[in-house]
């Protein structure tokens, strides 16, 4: 079995999935929970920022294209926080509009990784595990 065949270990990680579509929140949440994560969800960047003030998170998975504030706004707000208040939380960008954004643009904005929708659930979990050093 190669390392890539290994099941990602997300045991006891606290993750936040931010997306304006309920089906994405459900699929991503189930995929991450399958590997041991505790998942919170938010339907907007503003709701996510509010949650950040009340819970400790190990990583954030955010859609880029949402009504109102987009994922770019969220990561800008996140990176503006002090490290102990969440400013250094790893962030993964996801979008169905892969043709509008480059990986370089997304990482320059403050995200550590970028996946295009539809996202394979196992790839999602592996990417999150990698972001948190597992």
pLDDT tens-place string over residues 68-112: 999 999 999 999 999 988 999 999 999 998 788 888 999 999 999
Q: What is the mean pLDDT of residues 104-127?
A: 95
Three-class DSSP category at 16: strand
- Structural domains of the chain sorted by starting position, each given as residue range(s) with its CATH number in brackets: 10-131 (3.40.50.2300)
In the chain, where does DSSP find H-type helix? Answer: 22-34, 45-52, 71-79, 103-109, 121-131
Predicted structure pTM score: 0.93
Share of the chain above pLDDT 70, in %: 96
Task: For residue 57, give the nearest of 8, 112, 16, 104 by alpha carbon.
Answer: 16
Q: What is the mean pLDDT of residues 21-40?
A: 97
Instruction: Report d(CA 9, CA 35) in Å as an integer.
Output: 6
How many residues are recorded in the chain?
134
Q: What is the mean pLDDT of residues 106-124?
A: 95
Distance spanning both ends of the chain, measured CA to CA: 17
């Amino acid at each position: 079995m190669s390392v890539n065949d290994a099941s990602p270990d997300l045991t006891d990680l606290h993750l936040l999935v931010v997306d304006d579509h309920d089906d994405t929140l459900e699929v991503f949440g189930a995929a991450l929970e399958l590997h041991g994560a505790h998942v919170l969800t938010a339907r907007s960047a503003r709701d996510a920022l509010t949650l950040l003030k009340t819970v400790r998170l190990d990583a954030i998975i955010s859609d880029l294209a949402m009504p109102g504030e987009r994922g770019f706004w969220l990561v800008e707000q996140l990176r503006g926080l002090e490290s102990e208040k969440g400013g250094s939380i790893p962030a993964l960008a996801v979008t169905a509009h892969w043709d509008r954004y480059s990986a370089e643009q997304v990482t320059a904005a403050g995200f550590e990784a970028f996946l295009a929708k539809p996202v394979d659930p196992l790839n999602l979990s592996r990417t999150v595990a990698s972001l948190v050093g597992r």
